């Protein structure tokens, strides 16, 4: 009867738990530990609030949470409340499924200017993550610059461009809903170092920009490669580029009250320029050209006025004391999910921020098979198991949140929702804990 601890209750964590439950059935005792009192990680605080169909995957995770001998242990932070050594002394295997919650640094001159944010922080703000509820971005005027050519950049641009009515049905939190509803931003720029053929945006998400009530997505036709070159692209990218070609028809379009969303290609961020008040006033970008698939600077620099900047250039896993870390890759040091005897990692914590939510499923199954092989092939010292963990929690006076507690929190969030929203999330940990009773 293996005792397994999974640290992190997002997609990677729940797919690993699902795999363990299918591998050993009720014989496995599986504890899913999270530092927040609420589960689902990226699904709750990373997926865009207007993408409720994607968030619905949490129902699958709930099925897993309620099957077999699986527990949710929320409000426990590894490294602060419980150490890795504590966990490996208790459990036969510890799986780190902590994702990549930290922004990759922008590392530009002036990047500490006011109203400059990473996407983890900005997305966390409008999704109600407790770490970012007090972010307080200024949306009162001017141009918003979004750096990045992936779906996260699209999410940020789309959320910034939406009208109040277009948030109906979403679970965007109240403080962000109010701020965005009164936004006076008059232009959004999506900035990328490479060209249209190198974007990582998917066709569906890209196409959503064309259906917004007040947005005008625009592409400079001169940035588009020859049409014949599209034939060599992978089908998904080709569909996205076709959408960009459609946006090029709006290149010179301007309408009162409409917000242009301008795609600016071949432009590498060079420096952030702050105004007298210390907040961003502009961003300098260097024109690039593609050489052997990589962007190369030309030395030509131009300035784009900016009142807000959101950097969507990638994420990093947060280090945990006493766990080997690959600083360059921004993830735990591992070989196919194996860190060291008894310690494993899965999902973005294993491979970095790549793939889709569904990519974590085969990843979770693979690491559980590795654990099964290791447990069957070696002489493992006796561990104290779940009982040992519970004794530590009691001795240290830790206040754990169970899955039943979470369901009461969820009921409270549903009950306090706006009429056109499925829930109003608590954004303070203390309020979450209070709502469980």
SS3 per residue for the chain: CCEEEEECCCHHHHHHHHHHHHHHHHHCEEEEECCCCCCCCHHHHCCCCCCHHHHCCHHHHHHHHCCCEEEEEECCCECCCECHHHHHHHCCEEEECCCCCEECCCCCCCCCCECEEEHHHHHHHHHCCHHHCCCCCCCCCCEEEEECCCHHHHHHHHHHHCCCHHHCCCCCCHHHHHHHHCCCCCEEEEECCCCHHHCCCCHHHHHHHHHCCCEEEEECHHHCCCHHHHHHCCHHHHHHHHHHHHHHHHCCCCCCCCEEEEEECCEEEEEEEECCCCEEEEEEEEEEEEECCEEEEEEEEEEEECCEEEECCCEECCCCCCCCEECCCCEECCECCEEECCEEECCHHHHCCCCCHHHHHHHHHHHHHHHHHHHHHCCCCCCCHHHHHHHHHHHCCCCCECHHHHHHHHHHHHHCCCCCCCCCCCCCHHHHHHHCC
**Pairing assessment for the beta strands 325-326 and 315-316 based on DSSP bridges:** unpaired
Q: Which domains does the chain have, with CATH numbers?
A: 3-101+317-435 (3.40.50.720), 103-311 (3.50.50.60)
For residue 382, what pLDDT is reported? 80
The pLDDT assigned to 67 comes to: 87
Q: How far is the C-alpha of 320 from the C-alpha of 385, rounded, in Å?
A: 22
Return the bridge partners of 332, or none.
Answer: 325
* SS3 label, residue 1: coil
Q: What is the pLDDT of residues 350-393, one digit of tens each?
A: 999 888 888 899 999 999 999 999 998 867 778 889 999 999 99
The number of CA neighbours under 13 Å toward the Cβ of 207 is 8
Q: Do 132 and 117 contact (CB within 8 A), yes or no?
A: no
- Per-residue model confidence (pLDDT) at position 206: 96
Whether residue 217 contacts residue 250, with contact meaning beta carbons closer than 8 Å, is answered with: yes
Predicted TM-score (pTM) of the model is 0.95
Q: In this predicted structure, what is the pLDDT of residue 26?
A: 87
Q: Is 50 within 8 Å of 162 (Cβ atoms)?
A: yes
Whole-angstrom distance, CA of residue 206 vs CA of residue 240: 7
Q: Residue 338: what pLDDT?
A: 97
Question: pLDDT (tens digit, 9 = 90+) per residue, 18-36?
Answer: 999 999 998 999 999 999 9
Residue 137 phi, psi (nearest 5): -70, 145
Tokens read off for 372: 């099964």
pLDDT per residue of the chain (437 residues) written in tens, 0 to 9 = 899 999 999 999 999 999 999 999 989 999 999 999 999 999 999 999 999 999 999 999 999 999 889 999 999 999 999 999 999 999 999 999 999 999 999 999 999 999 999 999 999 999 999 999 999 999 999 999 999 999 999 999 999 999 999 999 999 999 999 999 999 999 999 999 999 999 999 999 999 999 999 999 999 999 999 999 999 999 999 999 999 999 999 999 999 999 999 999 999 999 999 999 999 999 999 999 999 989 999 999 999 999 999 999 999 999 999 999 999 999 999 999 999 999 999 999 999 988 888 889 999 999 999 999 999 886 777 888 999 999 999 999 999 999 999 999 999 999 999 999 999 999 999 999 999 98
The whole-angstrom separation of Cα 10 and Cα 355 is: 14
Task: Look at residue 47 in the predicted model and tell me its pLDDT.
Answer: 95
Helix axes 11-24, 360-377, angle to 10 degrees: 50
């Amino acid at each position: 009867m293996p005792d397994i601890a999974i640290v992190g209750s997002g997609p990677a964590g729940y797919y690993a738990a699902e795999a363990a439950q299918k591998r050993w059935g009720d014989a496995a005792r599986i504890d899913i530990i999270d530092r927040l009192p609420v589960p689902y990680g990226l699904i709750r605080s990373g997926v865009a609030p207007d993408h409720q169909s994607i968030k619905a995957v949490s129902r699958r995770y709930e099925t897993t949470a309620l099957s077999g001998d699986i527990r949710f242990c929320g409000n426990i932070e590894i490294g602060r409340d419980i150490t890795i050594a504590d966990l490996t002394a208790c459990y036969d295997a510890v799986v780190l499924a902590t994702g990549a919650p930290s922004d990759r640094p922008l590392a530009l001159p002036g990047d500490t200017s006011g109203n400059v944010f990473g996407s983890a922080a900005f997305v966390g703000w409008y999704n109600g993550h407790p770490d970012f509820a007090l972010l307080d971005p200024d949306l009162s005027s001017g141009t918003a610059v979004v750096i990045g050519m992936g779906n996260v950049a699209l999410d940020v641009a789309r959320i910034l461009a939406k009208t109040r009515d277009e948030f109906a049905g979403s679970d965007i939190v109240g403080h962000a809903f109010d701020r965005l509803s009164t936004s006076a931003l008059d232009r959004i720029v999506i900035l990328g170092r490479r060209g249209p053929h190198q974007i990582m945006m998917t066709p569906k998400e890209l196409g959503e920009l064309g259906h917004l009530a007040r947005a005008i997505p625009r592409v400079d036709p001169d940035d588009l490669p020859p049409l014949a070159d599209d034939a060599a692209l992978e089908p998904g990218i080709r569909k996205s580029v076709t959408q960009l070609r459609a946006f090029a028809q709006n290149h010179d379009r301007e309408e009162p009250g409409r917000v242009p969303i301008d795609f600016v290609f071949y432009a590498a961020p060079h420096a952030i320029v702050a105004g007298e008040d210390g907040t961003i006033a502009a961003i300098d970008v260097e024109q690039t050209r593609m050489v052997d698939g990589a962007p190369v600077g030309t030395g030509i620099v131009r300035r784009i006025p900016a009142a807000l900047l959101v950097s969507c250039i990638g994420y990093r896993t947060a280090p945990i004391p006493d766990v080997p870390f690959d600083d360059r890759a921004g993830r735990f040091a591992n070989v196919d999910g194996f860190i060291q005897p008894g310690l494993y990692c899965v999902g973005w914590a294993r491979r970095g921020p790549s793939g889709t939510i569904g990519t974590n499923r085969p990843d979770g199954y693979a690491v559980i098979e590795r654990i099964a092989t290791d447990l069957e092939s070696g002489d493992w010292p006796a561990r104290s198991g779940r009982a040992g963990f519970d004794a530590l929690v009691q001795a240290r006076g830790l206040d754990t949140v169970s899955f039943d507690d979470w369901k009461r929190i969820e009921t409270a969030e549903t009950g306090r929702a706006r009429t056109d929203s499925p829930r109003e999330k608590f954004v303070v940990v203390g309020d979450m804990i209070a709502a469980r009773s």
